[in-house]
Amino acid sequence: MNPKIRTPTTGDARSIRVALDAALYRSLAPSGEQYDSSSVSFLCDDRDYTIQMIVQNMVDAVVINESYLLVFSIVKPWYSKNRTILCEDLVLRIGKGSSFCDVIATMEHLAGINECDAIITGGALARSSRAITRLYQRFGF
């Protein structure tokens, strides 16, 4: 079964803000020493702007099963002459229900319809880089 996807709307702004705030806070979680800043919280210097970019469709983004927000880019890397990739820029859990399997299925679907040669994932907001790595590895990444 394919996940239900739609573009984000201004009605999603509050749930995106709550999820983004939580993810940025968790990304600062200490691992042996206290952190005042992470690279993502440093670079995300205006959360309202970030959210407006998403809900005004200024970036490629979808809401998956009313549970996840996926922000992505379809790009031809500067170092590649003939390859196109889907780059996962951000995944946020913005509601209950669904599972991460639906995020993977959506990325694979989007990569397919955009004729991408590969999918690149990240984990800049993950509390544990090892955990997100293991999660993606379970799905073949």
pLDDT confidence of residue 27? 64
**C-beta contacts of 6-12 below 8 A and 24+ residues apart:** 6/62, 6/63, 7/57, 7/61, 7/62, 7/63, 8/54, 8/55, 8/57, 8/61, 8/62, 8/63, 8/69, 9/55, 10/55, 10/56, 12/54, 12/55, 12/63, 12/69, 12/94
Q: Which residues pair with 91 in a beta bridge?
A: 70
Residue 32 pLDDT level (bands cut at 50, 70, 90): very low
Residue 107 pLDDT level (bands cut at 50, 70, 90): very high
Q: What percent of the chain has pLDDT over 70?
A: 81
Q: pTM score, two decimals?
A: 0.85
Structural tokens at position 25: 């806070």
pLDDT confidence of residue 135? 74
Most confident by average pLDDT, 36-40, 97-101, 115-119: 115-119
